[in-house]
Structure 1
């Protein structure tokens, strides 16, 4: 049965193209998929059909759309470029790039990390878990980059999934955030659930809110922004992105919860131009630690942030 979704355009999102706004609002839906819905008359603005993906949205406009049921299908192997950090008979560790979806979903039936792993890892289809997301025990948002682990056997899947559920993974992120934290270190303890006003988003004390704890450490300060390291004690959907917004320091480049317009910032035009080139939220999973499911050995892997993150960081450093 189709799903009906209604969202309201917030101030930071005003001026975005309709297809861009929906791509950043509807989880796991590609822009091309959403463009087809728009052109097919499945998207309403304030109750009236809009068939132009390029139409700009305005603050407080109500956008409604009808999402069709996903087509059940097993993902197929695809020869996609992925950065494999480590691999053995039990598991594979990758550095996921920004923009890659972890597993197939409506509008993302192909081109996902699962499709790539099915090609690169022999027998991966039998690695355990959901048939549409074999081996996947945790995930990163589409535009969040960084370290992920996937199981290659049912036994490894059981062990890694248990560790993820028990929050025993060591997960460390870095992010570029608006403004500066007063404290050098601290903890954000605020339960998260589905937003009452915008069910496609997460919110503090939302529907069926669950405990969410994020520890932060300020690494560098730039006046208008800061570089922070974050450690997850829990692993809720969009946890870091929502927590930093709740703390008053939204992540740069995040079109849903964060900061995407920098016109009011007192920064040089060249800095503004570089920040506008961020490919989604400036959030990177720099380290992942876990217990090897076969040997029991504690393992840890790290990866450098992608080019757009690094360029933005370098531009902010020049402001000092």
Structure 2
């Protein structure tokens, strides 16, 4: 906390006289540049004024002249000259809006946990994270309910309006910078739950489809764009399925593009239930399943300034829990072990793929494996094709369901490839151009890819 204490006044308080002011640099401002400190705590003092004070020697840190790029340390005394239209205060000069009792009650009901660095909320569906066109109620507008002593809490990431779940709020400027760095550096681990229409043929994999703003939508909608899009990667796994009607999936966004999870699932032919924006009418299920979007930020694991990881799980909203029950899913079956890795190495992915193929072969032993060739969400050469109109395909971390290769097999045969193993010679008396058999030759190892003549 940064304090103002020239004569023993309360922290963060100062009179409006023309006296020289002194501030004690707090822990949250450790390592911050001097000009950034002014932006945080004396926002009405512009950069030009700060530079002028520095050039003329009026800014002092522990009695020594300071430059605008001087890095501050906790406990140092900062001397600030009078004037500059500055009004010292930790929260800046923006007046805090008086919240209604209903707003305060809503804000309190969302809190999952809090400490001196963070407040973690369970955002309900339908409540926007930030204000915008036509948005009167939003989380950012409720943050004044969490102000006690010190600065106003700050958003460090966002959830879509209709997405529920874990939302992290930073209490101080220092913790905001700390958490923002973890989100931008992609070390924060985010786990989402979703209900999707249909069942992905590949039960566990990685979707890599670049995304860009869709022209003509005013930036309100995203689409897959291989040429101009930004890299977007999502890992997913199917937790359970309700026949072929719907699947309960776990999603791990490895990048943070706008609407990434929604666009990716729609692109492989399995839109999130209730997401009419990207799935159209196909995104809605009949019967007792709610028409609200079924996308929930279930869990967040992120490094904390105190050194102990912050690990928070958000309960499901009522409509999502009811839909799970209606489809016969058991919520406890979706929980992930605490020690599961954030990102698998290449060797770990290979090992997991082999184990998955081995287990699935036991279930399907004796059944004939057929190659599928459907235009949407199906398997071809070991990869799921994107929805019609897109060219990109997802890269997988596992083998396709229904066509696993034997352990050690590296690739699936492409159309026109020769069958595995040594080809047999044509039978005597047959012309040289006779058609080759479609299946693997006699003696080829079981599970070898089939070729096409």
Is the TM value for this pair above 0.5? yes
Query: What is residue 274 of structure 1 aligned with on the other side?
Result: 288
Query: Over alpha carbons, which structure has the higher Rg?
Result: 2
In structure 1, runs of 5+ residues without a counterpart are: 1-72, 128-134, 266-271
Answering whether residue 237 of structure 2 is matched by residue 226 of structure 1, we say: no
Q: In the alignment, is residue 149 of structure 1 matched against residue 168 of structure 2? A: yes
Correspondence for 2:347: none
Q: 1:205 aligns with which of 209, 225, 238?
A: 225
Give SS of 1:79's match: helix
Q: Deviations over 1:250-289 (max 9, x none)?
A: 01101201254578x7xxxxxx2422x332x110000011
Q: For 2:147 and 2:288, locate their aligned partners in 1 and report how far apart those are by CA, in whole Å.
A: 37
| Contact 2:272-2:283 at 8 Å conserved across structures | no
Aligned to 2:156: 137
CA-CA distance at 1:153 after TM superposition: 0.2
Question: Any stretches of 5+ residues in structure 2 without a counterpart?
Answer: 1-93, 330-453
Match of 1:238 among 259, 265, 270: 259
1:208: how far off? 4.6
Give the distance between the partners of 1:124 and 1:285, measured in 2 at CA: 29
- Residue 177 (str. 1) matches residue 196 (str. 2): yes
Matching residue of 2:327:
316
Does residue 99 (structure 1) correspond to residue 110 (structure 2)? The answer is no
> How far does residue 79 in structure 1 lie from its aligned partner after superposition?
1.6
Between Structure 1 and Structure 2, which shows a larger proportion of strand residues?
1
Q: Which residue of 2 aligns with 1:85?
A: 112
On the 8 A contact 1:118/1:125 being kept in 2, the answer is: no
In the other structure, the counterpart of 1:255 is 276
Q: 1:178·1:259 contact (CA, 8 Å) conserved in 2?
A: no
Q: CA deviation at 1:298?
A: 1.3
Using the TM superposition, name which of 92-101 and 199-208 deviates more.
199-208
- SS at structure 2 position matched to 1:122: coil
Cα RMSD over matched residues? 2.2
Q: Which has the higher contact order (CA 8 A, sep 6+)?
A: 1
1:214 is paired with a residue whose SS is strand
Matched residues in 1 for 2:119 and 2:260: separation?
Answer: 25
2: CA distance, partners of 1:74 / 1:282: 37
* TM-score, structure 2 as length reference: 0.47
Indicate the SS of the match to 1:257: helix
Give per-residue Cα distances to partners, 1:62-88, cap 9 Å, x unaligned.
xxxxxxxxxxx9773442413211101
* Number of residue-to-residue matches in the alignment: 228
Cα distance change on mapping 1:161 and 1:184 into 2, 3 Å: same
For residues 150-173 of structure 1, give each alpha carbon's deviation from its aligned partner in whole angstroms, at most 9, with x where no partner exists: 101000000011111111110000
